[in-house]
Amino acid sequence: MRKWSLLAVSVLLAGSLAASAQQYAISGRIALAGDGGWDYLLADSVNGQLYVSHGTEVDIVDLASEKPVGKIGGMKRTHGIAIANDLHRGYISDGGDDAIVIFDLKSHAVVQKVPAGQNPDGILYDPHSKRVFAFNGGSNDVTARRGCNREPQRLKSHRCWRMAARVNAGPSHGRRPAEPAAKPPACETPSALSG
């Protein structure tokens, strides 16, 4: 009897999920020229631009006109893109060069390349800590760096998980409470990064 009850609940749940599933449809297409594979894309709603990693470059599309407006090149194998509008900077993980490429959001010019772990892939910017995190597939670790001109810090993946768990741990339940995180030092102004 219990198996039949479980089966009936499963069928009802599957049916309700299928009935409430949102339907998506293609509303248009944007053609981008060039060779190489596609990987990540990121919509920057503040500046109205779409960034698409494409082989050795990142294509930039204006979202209002849906037309390509530029490229960021000079990389070996692009992957993820992250945007830090508060710092006026963007970040690209270049897995072929084991680097994080930093670019200016207005001019799209590359301002700096900094070392990462082996084959950085996913990348994100955390506005609270003002850090960029590149997730390195080849070295199985994370490169964490301040969004401004500071040296990158390599974090082993198990350490990152402990740090994340410490932040979200809640009550200690008899264990030693987590130490409060120190406030990160203020970042240099974006104009100091132009050189």
pLDDT tens for 134-146 read 999 999 999 998 8
Q: Does any domain span residue 19?
A: no
Joined tokens for residue 18: 């299928």
Joined tokens for residue 78: 């692009």
Q: Does any domain span residue 13?
A: no
Q: Does any domain span residue 101?
A: yes
Q: Is 64 helix (H, G, I), strand (E, B) or coil?
A: coil
pLDDT per position as a tens digit, 97-116: 999 999 999 999 999 999 99
Q: Does any domain span residue 63?
A: yes
pLDDT surpassing 60 at residue 195: no
Task: Give me the sheet containing 49-54, strands edge to edge.
Answer: 38-44, 49-54, 57-62, 67-72
For residue 172, the one-letter residue type is S
Q: Does any domain span residue 69?
A: yes
For residue 148, the one-letter residue type is C
8 A C-beta contact, residue 82 and residue 94 = no
First vs last Cα of the chain: how many Å apart?
A: 73
Q: Rounded to the nearest 5 degrees, what angle is found at the Cα of 151, between the Cα atoms of 79 and 132? A: 40
Name residue, tokens 């494409």. 54
Ramachandran region of residue 173, left (φ > 0), alpha (ψ -120 to 50) or beta? Answer: left
**Does the predicted TM-score (pTM) go above 0.75?**
no
Task: Count CB-CB contacts under 10 A for residue 132.
Answer: 27
Q: Number of folded domains in the chain?
A: 1
CATH at 114? 2.130.10.10
pLDDT surpassing 90 at residue 171: no
Q: Does any domain span residue 193?
A: no
* Domain encompassing residue 132: 32-169
Q: Does any domain span residue 179?
A: no
Q: Does any domain span residue 78?
A: yes
